[in-house]
Amino acid sequence: MKIQITADLLDGIVLAILERNDYYGYALTQRVQEVITISESTMYPVLRRLKKDGYVTTYDQPYQGRNRRYYQITADGKSHLARVRQLWNDYKNALDQIFNPDGGGDAK
């Protein structure tokens, strides 16, 4: 069984990675794949949406005679990431009350 990742959570994962470093598309996909299962065909629409929403910007850099498109988080992206982090923490804490038997939830 796999737990489904929502679009908001996927956005948060990508933005959290970009908060630490700029990445070109393939390297960013590889980094995300270290923590969740996702295909390249899923990542590029996510990146286009984040760019359209103003959460990331892009720039090109030459590499071995070709250009690599790098993604960089924007100030709006950092604000959105803060909101996603808060939503994640609230969600995680609510679930921990149920799943964590020592967490003082309703377990009897």
Torsion angle, alpha carbons of 8, 21, 32, 92, to 10: -50
| Residues 81/19, Cβ–Cβ less than 8 Å | yes
pLDDT in tens, 49-106: 999 999 999 999 999 999 999 999 999 999 999 999 999 999 999 999 999 877 654 5
> pLDDT-derived band of residue 47, with 50, 70 and 90 as boundaries?
very high
